[in-house]
Amino acid sequence: MSLSTTNKAPIVNDSETTIKSLLSGAIEFHVHPGPDGKTLRKMDMFEVVRAARMVGMRAVVLKDKSCGTGAIAQLVNKYAGGCLAIGAITLDVSIGGINPAAVEIEAALGSKVVWMPTYSARNDPSKKKTDKDRRQNDLVILRDNGELLPEVIEIIEIIKQHEMVLATGHLSRQEIFTLIGMAAEKGVKKMVITHPLSENVGTRLSVKDQIQLAQMGAYIEHTWVASLPRHANIPISDFVEAIRAVGVKKCIMATDFGQMHNPAPIEGFRMMLKALLAEGFSEEELAYMVRKNQVELLGLAL
C-alpha cells in the first residue's frame, strides 16, 4: 500500500503580513500622548501621529486628562498630516468637571469624543491616596435620587447636536446604565463603554451587562493596557469571552498606552493585534474592532 504525496506547500499563518494589513487604515481610539499637565508621557502628540502615519494608520484620538485636545489636534493636522489627529475632552476636575461650556468649546474645535470623569470619578479608586485627592476627585453624575445631574443632560444634548461620541470614563455601574439609557432615549447614536473589564480604574461589568449595553446602542471598548501586569493584569481569555459574547461588530479595541513604563503606543497596537490573532480572531473580525467600528463612531467616510 503506497502513501499518497502532494507537492503543495504547507499553509503558513503569516501574522506579520496580517498585522501590516490591519494597521493600514486602523484607528487608535484611546491613547495618552504628551504634553500632559498631570503625567509624563512616552511620546508627544506629534510623535504619536507621525508614528501612526508611518504604519499607515488612518486616525488617532488624542486623550488628555488635564485639558481638551481639539486645538492641538488642529495643529498636529496642519504640521504632521497624513494621519488624522482627532480631539477629545475628559470631564475631570482639571477642566471643571461636568462642564457643558468646556464641551461646547471642544465641539467648536472639532473634537469628537467626550469622556465622562475618569480619575476624578468617585468610583475610580486610583487617585484617592490623600484627603485632598479624595475631596477633589469625587465627581458623580447622579443626584441622590438616582437621576442625572442637569449639566449631564445638557452635555448629552451638546453631544447629540454635534454628533460627538459619548464615552463612560470610569463611572459606576449605576451611572453607566443611567447615562446610556438617557442618551439613547434622547437619540444619541454614538456611545462607548470605556474598558469594562478594568476594576482598578472604574467598574468591571459582567458579560451580561456588556451585552445589554450593546443592545442599548453602545459599543464596548477594550483597552490593551488592562492586560499588562502593572495595570489590571486581565487574562486574555476574559477579553475573548466578552468580545465573543457581544460580537465584534459592537466592540472596539484600543491600547490606552502612553505611559512611560509601557512600549510606545503604536508598538502596543501591534502587540494587541498579534495577541488577538493568536486567540483565533480573523483579519475580518479584527478589522471591525480596529477600523470599521471606529469609522462609524467618528463619522469618517468609508
What's residue 203's pLDDT?
A: 93
Strand order in the sheet with 84-86: 27-31, 59-62, 84-86
With 0-12 CB in 10 A as exposed, 13-18 as middle and 19+ as buried, what is 161? exposed
Distance CA 68, CA 114 (A): 9
Write the DSSP symbol of residue 154.
H
Q: Give the DSSP H/E element, type plus range, for residue 252.
A: strand 251-254
What's residue 281's pLDDT?
A: 98
Residue type, 263: P
Q: Please choose, from the candidates 22, 61, 76, 46, the residue with its C-alpha nearest in 3D space to the C-alpha of residue 255.
A: 61
| Domain assignments of the chain as residue spans, ordered by start | 15-298
Residue spans of the chain under pLDDT 70: 1-13
Residue type, 132: K
pTM listed for this prediction: 0.93
What's residue 9's pLDDT?
A: 44
Distance CA 264, CA 43 (A): 7
What's residue 71's pLDDT?
A: 97
What's residue 2's pLDDT?
A: 36
Q: Please choose, from the candidates 258, 220, 253, 200, the residue with its C-alpha nearest in 3D space to the C-alpha of residue 69.
A: 258
- What is 15-298's CATH number, 1.25.40.10, 1.10.730.10, 3.20.20.140, 3.30.300.30? 3.20.20.140
What's residue 38's pLDDT?
A: 78
What's residue 145's pLDDT?
A: 97
What's residue 125's pLDDT?
A: 85
Distance CA 77, CA 72 (A): 9
What's residue 297's pLDDT?
A: 98
Q: Using alpha carbons only, how large is the chain's radius of gyration in Å?
A: 20
